[in-house]
Structure 1
């Protein structure tokens, strides 16, 4: 019986291997808009390599960084239309289009990028299919908290009045407007040029990426607080996914998890976290530290942005209080809330 059982297992294993071998080869185009040296790219490549291994070599991928397949603002539509099979999407580049996930960009919510990513991914799964119905949302993640970086010193929220600011997301843009500033729209790769030409006076950006995009060359003052973070998703073209075999779909599903989101985001979170000390050490740069009273003024000043966000969520048919409470509870679960 032991011999027969062993033979049966062997036959089953051979059958599984044969079925996998019969799966049609799939080639995925993965698009990001960050530079090739950005830590997100090797993380995504390692993820794609693991997919190839798990699929028995039937799912291969090619990574296209630096906006090779299209502009940063277009990555959601590129995924929907199949220009990219998978893409790194910043929902905040599409003002008003994705109101639920925009809540994660509200100021003073996230304490870190690692647990914050796990929390965002876990939380957004209950809304993703409805809000981003044109694509398959594989996972969501955030960078380590960033801040406001400017060409002139900003200490109080009243200092923003009259300034031209490039916001990271539409949600942050609402904050800038509420403070009396003017929003200047630009993707991350375009931002240094905007600041150099004086089109913008300040920018909200994560710490280490300041150097990666050359923004440290044009901003010298840095608000030393975890002001905000930016939610992102890795989206997949639905037709590409639907065209896969059941076994291949399972491989993709096994790699579109909260655990994988945190794994992919961790090197980036470490990178951005380490950037703060590097910026602080630069000659000619000033880290603007806030007193408890000044920090309180900032928190009070940005509060109206949540009211604006709540209205947009209501229009989308969701209960903003329930959505925000769910996010905060999930952040607390992952020790990543402020």
Structure 2
């Protein structure tokens, strides 16, 4: 009898441990930003810590920043192949798989990270952007954007005539077309190589989000920085492999998403706030931080208008028009 009771107790303990093991998940999460970047400090790592605390350890993370598990353009493949369970995707790096999500790269729409993030968050709740991610095998948890891209250069750039034949660093095909629409030549160069390219004269100007400038020290090699332009944007989407996410407890899924929404708002505001501080710092360093005049903005918008028309043509179909109309409406609020 004692042996039987002991066996039952042992079996019960084993079942309890097994149940705990099933409930606990350690997710491997890929990220191409360094842990010192504002996107990681105020976004990724903040969200991971909040989820771990809110779920009482049911969800923990093994973080792979700085492309440790996969290169920036391979993050989505790494999740689908089981190398990673989750990733912070740079949507424009996956434009072939997520073409409609590239809408954020269009120039002339949102004016702050908060405004752009509110739009992207809304569009990820339901509709073509979410459907595109689900079709790619991942579930979007939250999304946010970088502040709108500005121009950093060695000379003051205003009207489109100032841009003629300049070599400008761009990010992605849409932004390359933005540069071409202004008469410049769009050149794709990885972020870590931009400093040297500007320093050595390979680049005349750079389209870049101001919150990310300190990470690459570009303020050391330029003398003019615009502050109120909108030369396109860049979105990040935190995703989890769908089969894994769907298997989590409902309360865990809900907490991951709700905390994601809070994180998206937080990292967006943190970036906008950092830009204001950086502009004052750069002014003190003697850098010409300038605002485009109303006439310059109108001329730039007019010159860049064909970029949006081209995007709709390249995407094709009613979905692209639907996405653009929704995006335009949300970023106009």
Name the TM-score, length of structure 2 as normaliser: 0.83
The 3-state SS of whatever aligns with 1:226 is coil
Contact 2:124–2:130, Cα closer than 8 Å, also in 1:
no
Task: Specify whether residues 42 and 293 from structure 1 end up closer, same or farther in structure 2 by C-alpha distance, changes over 3 A only.
Answer: closer
| CA distance in structure 2 between the partners assigned to 1:22 and 1:95 by the alignment | 37
The 3-state SS of whatever aligns with 1:272 is helix
Contact 2:279–2:289, Cα closer than 8 Å, also in 1:
no
The 3-state SS of whatever aligns with 1:154 is coil
Hey, what does 2:288 align to over in structure 1? 286
Contact 1:165–1:183, Cα closer than 8 Å, also in 2:
yes
Matches within 5 A, 1:79-158: 79-125=79-125, 126-132=127-133, 133-134=135-136, 135-158=138-161
Shift of 1:311: 0.9
The 3-state SS of whatever aligns with 1:139 is strand
The 3-state SS of whatever aligns with 2:140 is strand
Question: Is the counterpart of residue 175 in structure 1 residue 175 in structure 2?
Answer: no
Hey, what does 2:7 align to over in structure 1? none
Hey, what does 2:13 align to over in structure 1? none
Hey, what does 2:40 align to over in structure 1? 41
Question: Is the counterpart of residue 190 in structure 1 residue 189 in structure 2?
Answer: no
Question: Is the counterpart of residue 203 in structure 1 residue 202 in structure 2?
Answer: no
Report how many residues are paired. Answer: 313
Task: Deviation per CA, 1:250-274: give whole Å up to 9, x if none.
Answer: 4434444x44421343323322343
Question: Is the counterpart of residue 26 in structure 1 residue 25 in structure 2?
Answer: yes
The 3-state SS of whatever aligns with 2:60 is strand
Task: Deviation per CA, 1:134-186: give whole Å up to 9, x if none.
Answer: 22222111122230112333222122222221113432211112233222213
Shift of 1:309: 0.9
Match among 219, 222, 233 for residue 229 of structure 1: 233
| CA distance in structure 2 between the partners assigned to 1:187 and 1:142 by the alignment | 19
Name the TM-score, length of structure 1 as normaliser: 0.82
Contact 2:46–2:263, Cα closer than 8 Å, also in 1:
no
Shift of 1:327: 1.6
| CA distance in structure 2 between the partners assigned to 1:274 and 1:70 by the alignment | 33
Contact 2:29–2:64, Cα closer than 8 Å, also in 1:
yes
Matches within 5 A, 1:223-302: 223-227=226-230, 228-256=232-260, 258-283=261-286, 285-302=287-304
The 3-state SS of whatever aligns with 1:318 is helix
Task: Specify whether residues 270 and 51 from structure 1 end up closer, same or farther in structure 2 by C-alpha distance, changes over 3 A only.
Answer: same
Contact 1:121–1:141, Cα closer than 8 Å, also in 2:
yes
Task: Deviation per CA, 1:301-336: give whole Å up to 9, x if none.
Answer: 000101111112325x5141x322212322344xxx
Task: Specify whether residues 223 and 259 from structure 1 end up closer, same or farther in structure 2 by C-alpha distance, changes over 3 A only.
Answer: same
Which stretches of structure 1, 4 residues or more, deviate above 6 A after TM superposition?
Answer: 17-20
| CA distance in structure 1 between the partners assigned to 2:19 and 2:273 by the alignment | 37
| CA distance in structure 2 between the partners assigned to 1:36 and 1:208 by the alignment | 15
Shift of 1:226: 2.9
